[in-house]
Structures are given as structure tokens and as C-alpha cells.
Structure 1
Amino acid sequence: MADSAVNETPSEGGTTEECETTGNIEANTDKTSEKESSIKEGSTETEGCETTSNIQANTEKTIAEKASSETSLVPESMIESSKVERKGEAKIKSQYLLVDYKPKIVSDYVPQETKDAMKRMITENGDDQPVSKKLRLKGRNKKRPFEKNPDASKKLCASISQEQECTFGDKCIFLHDINTFLASKPKDIGPKCYLFDKYGKCPYSFSCRFAQHHLTVEQTNLVNEELYEKQKDALSKRWLNNLDKDIQRLLWKRKYDFRKAEKFLKDMKDGKQTANNNGVSSIIEADSSDKTTDLARETNPESKMSDAVSKSTPQTLGCVTDEGLIALRPAEKKKIDFSNKLYLAPLTTVGNLPYRRICKSLGADITCSEMAMATSLLQGKTEWALLKRHPSEDLFGIQVCGSHYEPMTRCAQLIQDTCKVDFIDINCGCPIELVFQKGEGCALMGRSGRLEQIVRGMKSVLEIPLTLKMRTGIYGSKSIAHTLIPRLKLWGIDLVTIHGRSREQRYTKLADWDYIKQCSIAGKTIPIFGNGDVYSFEDANAFQSQSGVSGLMVARGALIKPWIFTEIKEQRHWDISSSERMDILRQFVHNGFEHWGSDQQGVETTRRFLLEWLSFLHRYIPVGILERVPQKINERPPYYFARDDLETLMASSNCGDWIKISEMLLGPVPDQFVFLPKHKANAYK
């Protein structure tokens, strides 16, 4: 069948059209399972799995059958015309092409205003002309609806699941009657509980959507004592960086001890007063009144900062302690060798812990949390869920975003005090309008005085490396990253990552690796990582050798094909089969059960994040189908059918087909299920 990638960007949706997937999904799944039997178990946990000779033989047979059966769809004259080069289109072997396919709009996956427009067109023009010819879906769906958490009165109390006494007693808002809960509980998804098989005990007990595996007739939760004793610690430490309840209460009451941060903040304030008394405009005062993005107006901010802090150093009287006096020297602080490592970019929404585990198993060296807002972390909000780390993430950072040095300095201390983390990253690259208008993300690139305050403040309380990710600049016509890099080193930054696009470009056009080379030259004394359009080992080799960067960060390339890390390390194009790709999705679901839970809410949370990921995964074109290898990240495919039905289903850009894949792994969607894709074009079928 067919597919067309969502333009070239995750945020700038182009008009994407999609064909129907063929065959009965259940029948196709049976066929695929025969091929899966020849693949080694746990292929997602190894690097560079190879398809077996049986799979190759079956694949060739499938190709031949499809080629013969679809001859009428692709006449020779059309095949010849399809060989004409089209700009921005990937070259696919002619036997897989669908020529002159006419997509249709599926109204289930469009926003209400689009549905209303479709009804008006039908009313005005009748059914003579298809709506898809007159209505062209383009751009992003805004105000996307999400599933609400189930009513607390219908959820089983966690204390009942854990066979403990509820500490809230009659005041508890959750359900305590097991029989009532089981009567209203949806049917189990399958006969095997992944958590029970792995740990010997399922922590979700009666609430588990696979409960029949570990519930007795007497409604008690089974425990495999021998396995549970071995895995008890692993079960309790499925992730790190949980926010302690006592610390959360201190944050709510604003009573957390920020002594380290307060020392720097006091020095800053005293430095401002001292500078003003001498008739010199301090860096803080200058920044508070300066709203321009013209870096040329700033006058030697680093000397002002050092003078302000040095003049305000307090005299020590009385009992002498080592606090503040025997601080770690720069040489004694933790160092990380970042050179020649593959860095999985911090990715909003899709860069969750279960996804990072997949990338880690496929060869990623460095992982980083999703972007967290400093102010939300200081308030003890649910933003802390973004900071969780899996034990397999051996080199892990936390990315924070903010616009003022006070919350950013306090946040740096809080993270170092409470989290197991190897480095902290400052977000100077987020192009989102809401973030930019608050002076955060990319906006900091145009306010280097304020950026200096943030970097120096965070560095003063940290004993781990501090890194920074930014773009080429705010405007496409004015690249400024190379002017900031020497100063970032002076202020204390340990690694800079450059995304080769400006804020104005967002994710459109190609990344400017020539400019990244210029930045690499400007930062000879500091590690520079390059980011943008890395989609194959050939891209990785060319970009790194041409730019001279210390390492590569991979973002969209890892979303579309997470095995890119294996390809780069093994220097090959991996013609991954549909069954191997299905194994990766199955492993993601298992990771989701561990992270979000195997109860109804955990299953639906896993489904939502799986669907978000599938909105990128479908853009991958199998190597065996390509006429010209490798595919470039900005190349969209023409309409095509794949080598087997499952691969064809995975190539679909229609949201309805993604839901079918989720149902193969997570069972039927619940009643009133709603999922609106990120891009309007994903409503085409």
C-alpha cells in the first residue's frame, strides 16, 4: 500500500496523503508470526540483528507474488513515468509503487472545525465531487484532546492492590470493594502478565489488565516466591529520581534549604549595590532594562560579573567551617569524556523513559530527560516525572529551561541534591512561541547578559558538568552561536550542542553543517556536538568529518528509526524486517508497563505515547524497497506497498492504522477513545 511522510518536520505539517492498508489485520498478523519464529527472541535487546535466510526467502516470495498480482496497478508506461526524478521524493523500486492513487479524508481523525467544513461542502455541492478534492488538510491540529484519567471512585485503592491497610480510612476517595471493581473492570488484554513473569509479583494485582495470570479463584494475588526474592530490589528500583514526599512538602511550603544557591544570589545582589555606588551600571541592572537582541550593545559582561562578585566577598568571623571555604576546585569536579559518543537528543513527549530504554539497547551512549521547567520543579509539581532515570542509562542528563538566574540556580542545587544525574543541560534551543515569549529557550541567545547570570549561577552550585544546547540563532539571516561559544567556555560550560537551524526555521530546510563547522572552530577548547538531519551512518560520517565536531546528537532520525545508533556503530544499512520492528514496539509496550503500569490507566498512557511515536515511525522506508540508499531525512516516499502486510501497515501515515497497531499490542481501544494526530495530513487514507 502507500505512505507519505509528514512533510520533513514534526512541527510543520505538510499535506500528507495516505492509502488504505490491505487485507485482514488478524490474518496478516498470523502470517507475520510465522516469520517471527525464525527471529531470535529479544532481538530488540541486541545490536544489529540480522534477518535469517528463511525470512529472506519468504520476503522474496512475497515480493514476487505482489509484483505479479499488482501488475494491473502499475502498467509499464506508468512505471517509466514514475522514474522521473521528483524533488524531495525518495526513490522506490518500481515494483512497489502505487501510481495515481487517490487518497480520501477519514473524518474520525480531523478536528471538529474540519468536520463542520466537510458537512458544509457536502450540503452546498452534494456528493458529486469528493470532499478531498476541495478540502486540503494542512498544518497542525491545535488544542488536541487527550484522554482524561478515570474517575477516582472507579479506581481500586493502591493499598488494596498491595494488600495493605489504607491509611486514609473512610476519607479515601478510591474504591475499596474488590468485587465491585472486578465487575466493572474491562476484559483482560491477554493471558500473560509481563511484570509477573519478570519479577515474580505484579504490583498492580487486581487492577492489572493481565490479572488472570496471577489471580487465584479465591481472588488472591499469586507470588512466585523464588523469583520475587531475586528481583525484589529490581522491582522497587525500576526507575531512579523519585521525588521524596518530605522534600515535596518542603518545596510546597518554600522551606527547602537552598543555602548553596542563596550564597551566590546574595553575592549577586551585593555586587549590584556595590557597582551602583561606584557609578557603574551593574550587569543585573543592565539586563533587567535591556530587551533588545542586538549583542553588539553589550559591553564586556564577563568582567562586570567577576568584579561584582569579587567586591562582595564577605569577611569571615568567628567559628570557621569548611562550608563555602573549601569548595571544590574546577579540577576536582566531575569530568565526563563526551568525545565520539552518540547522544540521544532531549525530545518532548516522545523522549520518555520507555523510549530512551529502546534507544539505549540499540546503541545510544548519552541520554537526556525531556525538557523540564525550572519553576515547576521548584514548586514540586508533576514535572518531576520527566526526571526519572532507568538504571540502564549509564550516562544521563537532565535538561532544564528557564529565563532567570534565581530559579535556575536553585533548581540546579535541588537536582544535584535529590537526583542521580551525570550532567545538567540548559535549554537554549526551544523554538516554541509560548516558551520564547517568556524569555526562555531560544530567547536566551539574544540576551547574553542574562544567559551569563544563569550559567555562572548554576555553575557555582554544581559539582557535575553543565552543558548547553542551542540553535544557530534566532533569525535565519543572523547566526550568532559562534559569538557565544567562546564566552560560554569562559563562564563554565562543559559541552555545547549546536542544532544547525535557527529559531525562525524551526524544523524546516536542511541543517547548516557548514555553520556548525564554524562553531566547532570557534570552540576549539570546548567539546562541540552537532545536531541536525543525521539519518544514516553515511550522514554521520560525512557530518562529523566535515565539521570537526566532538560528537553527534540524534533527534528525529532516532524517532523514525531508533536502530540508527546500531547502524552508525556497525557502519551498515540495516534492512530491518517488519517482525523485528514489531519486536521493538512490543519491548516499548513492556517498558511502558514497568514505567506507567499495567492497570487500565497505565495501559492507556502507554497506548497514547505509542501512537505519538508511531507518528514518526511510519516515515521509515525499508532499505530493501529503496532504489537509492540511503534515504535522506527530508525525502518523502511516493505511494507504495511494502514487502508484507505488516510492513505495509507500519508504512501507513493514517492515524487509524496506528490505532490498529496499538490494538495488536494493547488490545481494543476503550469506548469513547479519542486520539487526534499532531498533523492534519494524517487524516488521509
Structure 2
Amino acid sequence: MNAGLQIGDVRIAGRVLMAPMTGITDLPFRLLASKLGAAYVATEMVASAELARGRPDVVRRAAVGGGLPLTVIQLVGRDPEIMAEGARMAEAAGADIIDLNFGCPAKEVTGSACGSALMRTPDLACRLMEAAVKAVSRPVTVKMRLGWDDDCRNAAELARRAEDLGVKAVTVHGRTRKQFYTGQADWGAVGEVKAAVSSIPVIVNGDIITAEQAREALTQSGADALMLGRGVYGRPWLSAHLERALVDGTQLQEPGREERLDIVIEHMRASAAFYGLPLGLKMFRKHLGWYVEQAPWPEDPVERRAAKARLCRLETVEEVERALSALWRPAVDQFSNSSVENLPQLVKAAG
């Protein structure tokens, strides 16, 4: 697998990309993943109408910051004029790439005729793409699904029309909207999208966590790159590590105790600084739960789940740091083998 991917006039330093995920890829997460080596991490899905109106929480989702190798802002909406305005605002904010969401399956999104609901209204989807492309000088890309359901699998046709309109890349999740996240992603079907376009990259997405899955997804789809989604929960290093595994054929390497602990603490502190307290810790708790679930310590999964529950009830950053250090650090290995019923004592001992 050759390193690098060209999207319009933007050169991406890798071919393992990280998907935009609401509630996940906020600025603290993107900065951390980029520091760990991710070449491409998109913002959370940003509603173009609310961005144009300046709604504070939506503007925060599109937040940019120094330390990012590039800035990708994803927009969702159904009104071409408002989508164009959102694209102009994203460009003014420093977006290198503007991505349009035609793939979100959430009912609150599709119920507003946005996200993957646009697979049922391809003419409207095309008007949205045309409006965004004409509004900005930056590359516009699209993320979609295979279609709305098995009777409406129109990703290949929509991708062909996107290319004609000036869209510079297409990402396809190998499921229909009706599937949500059930069953298996159909990487082979993404190959139909690849065959339908002639000059723009196609990126395969869905069920890619291991190096073996990544290789198979690329082989079955013929895609130019791949995009990670839920597999990065609790593993913000996955994109960079998977990139290395694909380039040199090595086994996927996971961080050790000390490195993993440093990553979690850095992420938590960044979240606290970005959102303020107590909101920053509240926003981080889902990440904390995933970090604990994904770690191999304690070895007993029941004990690990109990540890997660207790850690996610702690009310200060300092308490979480002490308890997690007690759970993971080699210097206190005797604690990591203890019952998590003793976590309050561990917090005290670690302090």
C-alpha cells in the first residue's frame, strides 16, 4: 500500500483516514489522534443551518486549532443555499477539505431529510453538492452509504454524478441506511462505486479494525483508501498504527501501560480545558469507558467492566488520574489484580 492520497489540491500523508463522528471527533480528540500520527481526522458532523446562524455548540463542533495536519469540516443539511453558506464559513474557518454527509443513519437526522435520507432524493443531493462546490475553492467530498435500502442501492450512480459536479472524493460505508450497523459491511459493493468514477478517489468504510480487515476491504473494494469509524473508540492511535501495519506488513502494535495512561490523561485534561469543568469531564466519560474496555488490564472482563463503572462516577480529573494510575501502572500491579470493589481505597493509596 503506497503512502499518501490526493484529494483535489490537498495531499494527505496516509491512506487510513478517520471518520467524522458526532460526540467523538471533537477538537481534543482530533488533536490527540493527530499527535499520535493520524493523517486525517474530520470534525463532528456540523449542521450547516445552525453553523450559519452561529449557534455556539455547533460552532464548537467545527472548532479548528493548531497542531492538526489538515482540517476537514463535515457539513450536514438539506437546503442548497444554506449548505453553500456553511461551506463558505467552513472555508473561512480554515477548512482544507469540506465533506458533505449523505450517510448518517440516525433517525433525528434522516427525519429531517438529511444524512442518508438524501440517498432517496439524489436530485436534491446533487443540488447540495453543486452549491457547495461552487461556493468554495477548497475540495468538496461526500460520505454516503450504499443506498437507503436494498431496493435503493444507488451509491454508484450518485458517485458518478458527484464526480461530474466537481466533488473530489467519495467515501462509502458498505451498508444501507436500513441496516444501520447490523450485519456485515459489504466491501465488495463499494467496488461498484469505484468502477463508476474515473478520476476521483473512493474510500471504503465499515467494520475495519484490524490490519487483516483493512487489507481485505481494500482488496474487495479496489478503493484508494479506507476510513475508520467505531473502531477508534478508546484507540485514537489506531489510524497511525494501522497505516504502519499496511505499509510495512508488521503486526498491529498496541500501546503499553505507561503510554496508554499518558494518552488517556492527556485526552482528559484537554477535554477539561476545551469545555471547562464540570462539562469537560462529563464529555470525556464515554471516552474513558472505551479506554478501559479496550485495555487488557485487568484481565478479567467482569473486573474491567466494574472498574469502568466506578471510574466513570468519579467527579474530578484528579480522582480519575489517581484511580486509573492505580489500575494500570506496573508500579502498582498488585492493585490491578485486586477487586475493583477496592477502587476507593486505591484512589486514596495513589494520592
Q: TM-score range by the shorter chain?
A: 0.7 to 0.9
2:32: which partner in 1?
358
1:426: which partner in 2?
100
Find the aligned partners of 2:310 and 2:112 in 1 and give their Cα distance.
37
Find the aligned partners of 1:501 and 1:664 in 2 and give their Cα distance.
41
Residue type matched to 2:105 in 1?
A: P
Superposed CA offset, 1:211-254 (max 9, x none): xxxxxxxxxxxxxxxxxxxxxxxxxxxxxxxxxxxxxxxxxxxx
1:529: which partner in 2?
203
Are residues 1:567 and 2:221 paired?
no
Residue type matched to 1:664 in 2?
A: E
| 8 Å contact kept, 2:185–2:207 | yes
Residue type matched to 2:239 in 1?
A: F
1:595: which partner in 2?
274
Secondary structure in structure 1 of the residue aligned to 2:147: coil
Secondary structure in structure 2 of the residue aligned to 1:337: strand
Secondary structure in structure 1 of the residue aligned to 2:142: strand
Deviates more, 1:604-613 or 1:549-558: 604-613
Find the aligned partners of 1:593 and 1:539 in 2 and give their Cα distance.
35
Deviation for aligned residue 1:565? 2.1
Find the aligned partners of 1:660 and 1:593 in 2 and give their Cα distance.
14
Q: Given the alignment, which residue of 423, 431, 446 partners 2:120?
A: 446
In structure 2, relative to structure 1, the CA distance for the partners of 1:387 and 1:581 (3 Å cut) is: same
| 1:83-482 matches, cutoff 5 A | 335-338=9-12, 340-382=14-56, 383-416=58-91, 418-482=92-156
Q: TM-score, normalised by structure 2?
A: 0.81
1:584: which partner in 2?
263
| 8 Å contact kept, 2:171–2:203 | yes
In structure 2, relative to structure 1, the CA distance for the partners of 1:549 and 1:338 (3 Å cut) is: farther
Deviation for aligned residue 1:448? 1.3
Q: TM-score, normalised by structure 1?
A: 0.43
Superposed CA offset, 1:421-468 (max 9, x none): 101111101111121121111111111111121111111121110000
Find the aligned partners of 1:437 and 1:511 in 2 and give their Cα distance.
23
Find the aligned partners of 2:147 and 2:226 in 1 and give their Cα distance.
19
Residue type matched to 2:205 in 1?
A: N
Find the aligned partners of 1:444 and 1:370 in 2 and give their Cα distance.
19
| 8 Å contact kept, 1:607–1:666 | no
Find the aligned partners of 1:653 and 1:510 in 2 and give their Cα distance.
31
1:659: which partner in 2?
313
Secondary structure in structure 1 of the residue aligned to 2:198: coil
Deviation for aligned residue 1:518? 1.9
Residue type matched to 2:33 in 1?
A: C
Superposed CA offset, 1:272-324 (max 9, x none): xxxxxxxxxxxxxxxxxxxxxxxxxxxxxxxxxxxxxxxxxxxxxxxxxxxxx
Find the aligned partners of 1:609 and 1:573 in 2 and give their Cα distance.
29
In structure 2, relative to structure 1, the CA distance for the partners of 1:621 and 1:613 (3 Å cut) is: closer
| 1:637-648 matches, cutoff 5 A | 642=299
Secondary structure in structure 2 of the residue aligned to 1:472: strand
Query: Greater Rg, structure 1 or structure 2?
Result: 1
Secondary structure in structure 2 of the residue aligned to 1:454: helix
CA root-mean-square deviation: 2.6
Find the aligned partners of 1:559 and 1:491 in 2 and give their Cα distance.
34
Are residues 1:486 and 2:140 paired?
no
| 8 Å contact kept, 2:120–2:152 | no
Find the aligned partners of 2:254 and 2:105 in 1 and give their Cα distance.
34
Superposed CA offset, 1:65-106 (max 9, x none): xxxxxxxxxxxxxxxxxxxxxxxxxxxxxxxxxxxxxxxxxx
Find the aligned partners of 1:391 and 1:613 in 2 and give their Cα distance.
22
| 8 Å contact kept, 2:17–2:239 | no
Find the aligned partners of 2:71 and 2:64 in 1 and give their Cα distance.
8
Find the aligned partners of 2:190 and 2:8 in 1 and give their Cα distance.
27
Deviation for aligned residue 1:618? 4.0
2:346: which partner in 1?
none
Deviation for aligned residue 1:557? 0.9
| 1:663-678 matches, cutoff 5 A | 664-665=319-320
Superposed CA offset, 1:501-556 (max 9, x none): 11111112211111112222222321100111111222212211332111111111
In structure 2, relative to structure 1, the CA distance for the partners of 1:664 and 1:524 (3 Å cut) is: farther
Runs of 5+ in structure 1 lacking a partner?
1-332, 597-601, 626-640, 669-685
In structure 2, relative to structure 1, the CA distance for the partners of 1:362 and 1:536 (3 Å cut) is: farther
Secondary structure in structure 2 of the residue aligned to 1:470: strand
Residue type matched to 2:309 in 1?
A: C
Deviation for aligned residue 1:478? 3.6
- Number of aligned positions between the proteins: 310
Deviation for aligned residue 1:654? 5.3
| 8 Å contact kept, 2:129–2:167 | yes
1:257: which partner in 2?
none
In structure 2, relative to structure 1, the CA distance for the partners of 1:343 and 1:653 (3 Å cut) is: farther
Residue type matched to 2:210 in 1?
A: S
Find the aligned partners of 1:390 and 1:649 in 2 and give their Cα distance.
38
1:508: which partner in 2?
182
Find the aligned partners of 1:663 and 1:505 in 2 and give their Cα distance.
42
Runs of 5+ in structure 2 lacking a partner?
1-6, 246-250, 324-351
| 8 Å contact kept, 1:374–1:407 | yes
Find the aligned partners of 1:343 and 1:619 in 2 and give their Cα distance.
23
Secondary structure in structure 1 of the residue aligned to 2:299: coil
Secondary structure in structure 1 of the residue aligned to 2:185: coil
Q: Given the alignment, which residue of 212, 218, 232 partners 1:538?
A: 212
1:498: which partner in 2?
172
| 8 Å contact kept, 1:498–1:530 | yes
